A and B are shown apart, each in its own frame.
Chain A
Amino acid sequence: MAVLEHVVLASGRPFAVERRLVERGFGNIKRSVTKYKQASHVLPHVVLADLDLADCPASLRSAWGAVDLPRSMLFRVAVRETESWLLGDGEGFAVFSSVPLNKIPREPETLPDPKQTLVGLVRRSRNRRLAAEIVPRPGSPVPIGPLYNERLVSFVQSQWSIDAAAAVCPSLQRMRDRLTTFVPIAS
């Protein structure tokens, strides 16, 4: 949500975020696509989903029924996860995580599991405290540490450069392009 809001507000367009809905899990978004289409006539919608393991954004969109969208709705897909976009700002992320810049992947959208890559990078961070917050304890079956979301949200809000990230993340660049021409008409 923090990323989505940041991208929308940094679009240079006079958009304001009226409501935020965190669906927690792609299943909920998939189930609600028709609802978003309907409701976007009341209030324009911008939906962001992770591609995860699906083949490509286009096939995900058709599989989820996110086609023939009303003009008041945008449906964008992050390849493969929003975490790729965060890693896209390599310099910013290096400063934030105290990880050498040359360790950070140059083309984050090609990563099979960006979340795992991100956690793996922070695991070797010189900032032990941050590592303990973002990385799960050894042997833990969960993928993230206790303050994963909180720390990354503060990174997004204070340091993350969209310009830098969009230069290496095509799906983010496409989302920005679409936002520049997005003329939501609520009927």
Chain B
Amino acid sequence: MFISRLKLKNWRNFKQVDVPLRERVFVIGPNASGKSNLLDVLRFLRDVAKPKGGGLQRAVEARGGLTKLRCLLARRDTEVMVEVELSERIDEPAIWRYRLAFKSEGKGAQRVIVSQEVVEDLRDGGLLLDRPDDDDRSDQERRTETSLEQVNANKDFREIAQFFSSLTYLHLVPQLLKHVELGAAGQLEGDPFGQSFLERIAKTTDRTRSARLRKIESALQACVPNMRNLKFERDQVTGTPHLEALYEHWRPDAGWQREDQFSDGTLRLLGIMWSLLEGDSLLLLEEPELSLNEAIVREIPALLWEIQRKAKYRRQVFITTHSKALLEHKSIDPREVLRLELSVEGTKVLPPSQEDIDLVAAGYSVAEAMASKAVPAVRLEQLSLI
């Protein structure tokens, strides 16, 4: 399943958003335009839906409360709304629509209450949930929780809850893996920075693990050609999990290296690929181009596709990027790109215009056709003389 349409109202710096989505989504835009905030809406749905420690109240609280979450431009209408449509396959009609809207109670403890929660099964048009209903009206307490987060209430649409709760956000920070003492202060929920990456590898069964590592190794060949025999090991003394690889060397036996000796770029790529192979829900990647050589960045779209093909389930991927090199890949369909543009009415999320699509058809890459519009208002490229 994947998200084929996203609608937002008053979410952080977005006042109104309504965009179609495909299996790969590249989010581009100037610095501080809200790329991460856009991904955060999906993490928010995960936080609401996840079975352990989830729920609307906690998800809002974790983001600093409703006042931090609500768009500053929201004037009369202060409700925050998120709506997604889910499809089974690309270019097929959506099968689910889920809408969640919430606002402040307006009195007393100013709790966050559900102002709308709607689930539609679009295959037979059934409206499975339409809140607030009579029960909600008679018992205000009920409105502090979504039906999505309750196993008793989400029986008919548990598929949606599971989809949301299993999405992954990854912004792997290699230094946190190399210097475990840095992470001693604790981990954030959902492990966004990949600190427990090795633990996750350790928890998979031997067979799955070696199959995945084999796939990763073969895909990595192009980027790190002298790396061989990527394998998982436990430290004999402490039992700590480690990744090891053999770096080819003129000496026949030298060159076994552990993850703390891998390059930052290699570790990030490993993390991204493992995540692509691991789950079946949406994967959110922040700037996969970091610490990578431009020649490899150019190949990221192909690499992602290759690994997506090898995975058991094809995950939908959201990628934020600043890299022109990444977007120059000729296989990127302009319809896979969302461009963020700052305006006085909050950030706008723009799907490609017909002109963008025509320019790509005429031979421009997505980077030239769309990223040239994503530069900030000072127009950095004007700094060039000709």
Contact = CB atoms under 8 A, between A and B. Distances in A.
Contacts of A152: 385
Interface residues of B, number: 16
Given A38-B362, A41-B362, A43-B359, A4 B368 contact: no
A182 B368 CA distance: 24
B385 A149 contact: yes
A63 B381 CA distance: 28
Contacts of B382: 1-2, 5, 20, 153
A146 B381 CA distance: 16
A152 B362 CA distance: 33
Interface residues on A, range: 20 to 34
B363 A78 contact: no
B381 A39 contact: no
B228 interface: no
Contacts of A149: 383-385
A48 interface: yes
Interface in B331-386: 355, 358-359, 362-364, 368, 372-373, 379, 381-386
Interface in A95-154: 149-150, 152-153
B274 to A, nearest CB: 36
Contact of A42 (B355, B372, B385, B386): B355
A101 B244 CA distance: 69
A16 interface: no
Contacts of A32: 363
Contacts of B381: 1, 20, 22
Interface in A30-84: 32, 34-35, 38-39, 41-43, 48-50, 78, 81-83
B385 A43 contact: no
Contact of A1 (B362, B364, B385): B385
Contacts of A21: 368, 372
Given A20-B372, A20-B379, A39-B359, A3 B364 contact: no
Contacts of A82: 385-386
A42 B373 CA distance: 16
Given A42-B355, A43-B359, A35 B364 contact: yes
Contact of A34 (B358, B363, B373): B363
Interface string B276-306: 0000000000000000000000000000000
Contacts of B364: 35, 39
A2 B379 CA distance: 10
A43 B363 CA distance: 13
Contacts of A3: 385-386
A3 B379 CA distance: 14
A29 to B, nearest CB: 10
Given A19-B372, A21-B368, A39 B363 contact: yes
A41 B384 CA distance: 26
Interface of B: 355, 358-359, 362-364, 368, 372-373, 379, 381-386
Given A39-B363, A43-B355, 15 more contacts: A1-B382, A1-B386, A2-B382, A22-B384, A24-B384, A34-B363, A35-B363, A39-B359, A42-B355, A42-B358, A42-B359, A43-B359, A48-B386, A82-B386, A149-B383
